[in-house]
Amino acid sequence: MTSAESALQSPEVGTPVLSFDHTQMTFPDGTEAVRDVSLNISRGEFVTIVGPSGCGKSTLLKIASGLLEATGGNVTVDRDRLGYVFQDATLLPWRTVLSNVELLAELHDIPKVERRQLALEAIETVGLSGFVNHYPRSLSGGMRMRASLARTLTLKPPVFLFDEPFGAVDEITREHLNDETQRLFQSEGFAGLFITHSIAEAVFMSTRVMVMSARPGRIVAEFDVPFEYPRKPELRFDPEFAALSGEISRELRGSHQ
Amino acid sequence: MTITQNDDPKISTDDDGTGPNHGEPVLRGKKRRRSAADFARQFLPPLILGAVIIGAWYYVSYGLLTQERRFLLRPPHEILQVGFLDWDHFSEILQALWSSTRVALIGLAISITIGFFLATIMSQTKIVERAIFPYMVMLQAIPILAIVPLIGFWWGYGTTSRIAVCVIISLFPIIVNTLFGLQSAERGLHDLFTLHHASRLTRLRKLMFPAARPAIFAGLRISAGLSVIGAIVGDYFFGQGAVGIGQLLKRYSSRLEGEELLAAVIMSSALGVTVFLFFGWLQNIAIGKWHESSGADS
């Protein structure tokens, strides 16, 4: 496991910051969730895994973050300041947006003044400055997700794991959040591993898309996404975008049979 | 509050000073205008029913009971005169009420301390929870009258025993509700704390206890009411030391002092209501801003 320092001090694109090496996961009940997944993600990369529901995509993230222990293979990543965005916003309902965003810095013992500063910056980055004193229950689903993103940003994590974070919001909000995520990817320079079952979302944000098969989860195809950043919303209507999406979709359907 | 949402001073002024403005002054204003009608709708029905009950009371006192048997139910104005407006009687009731309130509060404080402690360790270790829980249920199931003699043997017939009754009667809801609350934090939130290497204590302080607050307050309200009942029941049986409301009720009933008896009953009920309202108010202060149940009750 590399230390936090080395991860931060290796700005060159191409250094792997997260790697799965023949990762296996078989649950105690005998379900084989992940079979022999090998995958390297470097700084400057945004990798998305698409796959049918229940194919073990989320399991991979849980293994990467240490929430689950793999039954085989190796995972190398710096877990000290790992960014993890959950399916739900997982905000603490009794805290305002500001103090929710401060939470992780608090758990990492960052001094109060600095914590406040980091939180306000992150809140501004996701465009929630007008809502610092709101409680989560008065925010929309999309805004809660933004607060959740801001909370993760305060740690300036070198690696960002996204576990289908935008699955529960409506289409328009989702596209906005996709825009913002790729913008953040550009400005913050983290390495991203994103899980989704939306092909459009995957192609729009990623540098690389991996297709995962249904149980046991294996990586069956890999696509490089050639489009330049920053990507414009209109890209979604580009013929090349459609062609790539079509190819991925075919793979996905093939793997499902 | 470092950043204000609303820049317009005309609408952002919070004229009643009840708290921070959350940027919906227009809505709040509407709410306040409507509340006069709401007030009538909420309080008129019980007032009318109250008048009907008092009318029926007079009918029973004067219409159904003969002169000799009127002591069974004195008319309301006599209760007011003898029980409340006669200072000798009323101060006697107030003193007893204060004595019982003190017992109830001490008992409640002990219950809260023991209850929080037990619920916390039960939430940390499943084995402890499994070990303790059946006995808690058994303790809860014992009718208080059945162990009153035992309590008297052990702690005498004074204040200690009165407090013991309060504790026994009010402990269970605190433990059960606190434990339920501590276990109510969502899985995802626990994962978040796990990911960021939170210690047990941090998890307890920053996640489990805050998440438990609504349930804790629900338990407190129940236990506070029970503690008042415990103080009165305990006082009824244990006569040594300061006279509480239980002793007073006993005395009045043995002397057939109907007016004082009813006045004491009304004041006991008032004490219970006060305690209930107080904890409701406290709950609103503590969690009103974020919890769904806020404002749903008073």
Q: What is the value of ipTM here, to two decimals?
A: 0.87
Question: What is the tens place of the pLDDT at every residue in A103-133?
Answer: 999 999 999 999 999 999 999 988 888 999 9
pLDDT at A14 over 90: no
Show the beta-strand stretches assigned E in chain B.
none
pLDDT at A16 over 90: no
Domain segments of chain B as ranges? 9-68, 78-287
Domain segments of chain A as ranges? 13-82+158-257, 89-156
Contact B207 A92 (CB under 8 A): yes
- DSSP track, B198-258: --HHHHIIIIIHHHHHHHHHHHHHHHHHHHHHHHHHHHHH--SSS--HHHHHHHHHHTT-H
Query: How does strand A219-224 pair with strand A191-196?
Result: unpaired
CA distance B82 to B260: 7
CA distance B214 to B290: 10
Q: Mean pLDDT throughout B93-115?
A: 94
- B-chain residues near A93 (CB < 8 A): 290-291
The pLDDT of residue A3? 41
Question: What is the tens place of the pLDDT at every residue in B221-250?
Answer: 999 999 999 999 999 999 888 889 999 999
| Structural class in CATH, domain B78-287 | mainly alpha
CA distance A79 to chain B (A): 8
Bond from prior residue into A230 cis (ω within 30 degrees of 0): yes
Whether A128 has its CB under 8 Å from any CB of chain B: the answer is no
pLDDT at B297 over 60: no
Best of A1, A94, A145, A149 to disrupt the B interface by mutation (most B CBs within 10 Å)? A94
CATH superfamily of A13-82+158-257: P-loop containing nucleotide triphosphate hydrolases (3.40.50.300)
Contact B196 A108 (CB under 8 A): yes
Question: What is the tens place of the pLDDT at every residue in A48-93?
Answer: 999 887 778 888 899 999 888 888 888 888 888 889 999 889 999 9
